[in-house]
Amino acid sequence: MEVRTEKTEGGIQANVYVHTDNLTEPVSFENRRMYFIVNDEHIDITDQVSETEPYIYQFTDEEGVLHYWIIGKNGPELEHYGYAEYLHPSESDWTVGYVARTNNNTAPWLDKAKEELGFDF
């Protein structure tokens, strides 16, 4: 996902682009363990994620955009997971994102993460 912002007379204009051709799953599985993969990190989140508890990872990229990754399980099996990525550009008061592998973009783990992060959308 890419966010391009520019200052205009009326404020800041933002355009969001989701490049699905290079979109990869942020999770892999090895030896019955779930790993979150981002920024050259390979983090074992198996015991930190459930159907009600989200795993939340935050980082700021080189352009100053704050990224929130949220991972949760949609069933008892590790392979039934969902995820979301939200971006918050440093010069704005809005957040944009997408949700994947969930039913109607909602799940208990996602709702809890959004509450913890103060997202009201």
Domain count, the chain: 1
pLDDT in tens, 13-61: 656 565 556 667 899 999 999 999 998 899 999 999 999 999 999 999 9
Q: Which helix (H) or strand (E) holds 115?
A: helix 108-117
pTM of the model: 0.80
Domain that holds residue 41: 2-117
